[in-house]
Amino acid sequence: MPLAVAAAPVLLPQARRVRRRIPRLPEAAGPRSGHATPETADDAAPLSLLVLGESTAVGVGAATQEEALAAHLARALAQRSGRGVTWTAVGRSGATARAVLEDLVPPLDGVHDAAVVVLGVNDTLTLTTPGSWRATVERVIDALTPHLTPGGPVVLAGLPAVGRFTALPQPLRTVLGRHAAALDDTLAALADARAGVLHSRTPVLGSGPMQANDRFHPSARGYELWGAHLAREIIEEGTVLRPARDLV
């Protein structure tokens, strides 16, 4: 049993106190959808990208959605693919995987060519067990299927390096860092076991300009680096990003 789960009776009250003390930054302002155009574009139909999940899916730590993850990822994908990319961000601060499954997926509208799922920090803070975590994430993937074009990939963004979050005191930081790593390894194993699912390890953003002033979320610069990393891995993995309408 992971150390964090075994120590849950002690750690959970600590984690709740820490969450109350961390400055509560707003979700990024502005429209939660947009369009990115490459410098040199062809006549192909634009790709449709959904970014779904917890606070980072809706840009907490950035001032506007144009500085947040979905827009940065769309711009990076547009430049790498030579295709226009329309993007939609759906998320909620504090959301666990179960909350996303129950509250955010059912109201989804439309069909997308790819979905990026950004989850795990809140499940780390609530000490969700790896088994429960995997089962719920699998249900999220299944629930997304009707909202994806045939063969459209689901990209599981890896958990950040929680063990480097300086907003968390020791030893809580180290224990939660290990638990986050266990949840991330679970995502990697899930992706290995399912066709059409990609896991992308999240780069260590560090501190300073890459981090928002709550020392917990990425800054606009951090989101830019993360979006570029995701785009590079999606393209280099050979993930098919092609609208089904192009196949007709």
The CATH number assigned to the domain holding 181 equals: 3.40.50.1110
Q: Give the C-alpha separation, 232 to 202, whole Å.
A: 12
Q: In this structure, is residue 65 part of a structural domain?
A: yes
- pLDDT, residue 214, reads 86
Q: In this structure, is residue 232 part of a structural domain?
A: yes
Q: In this structure, is residue 152 part of a structural domain?
A: yes
How many domains would you assign to the chain?
1
Q: In this structure, is residue 177 part of a structural domain?
A: yes
Q: In this structure, is residue 136 part of a structural domain?
A: yes
Which residue type sits at 150?
P
- Structural domain harbouring 93: 3-19+32-237
Bridge-based pairing of strands 114-118 and 85-91 is unpaired
Q: In this structure, is residue 45 part of a structural domain?
A: yes
Question: Are the C-beta atoms of residues 205 and 225 closer than 8 Å to each other?
Answer: yes
Q: In this structure, is residue 248 part of a structural domain?
A: no
Question: Order of strands, edge to edge, in the sheet holding 85-91?
Answer: 33-36, 85-91, 47-53, 114-118, 154-157, 197-200
Q: In this structure, is residue 107 part of a structural domain?
A: yes
- pLDDT, residue 156, reads 98
Q: What is the pLDDT along the chain (248 residues), one digit of tens a residue?
A: 455 555 666 666 776 776 667 778 999 999 999 999 998 766 678 999 999 999 999 999 999 999 999 999 999 999 998 899 999 999 999 999 999 999 999 999 999 999 999 999 999 988 999 999 999 999 999 999 999 999 899 999 999 999 988 888 888 889 999 999 999 999 999 999 999 999 999 998 877 899 998 888 999 999 999 999 999 999 887 554 554 344 33
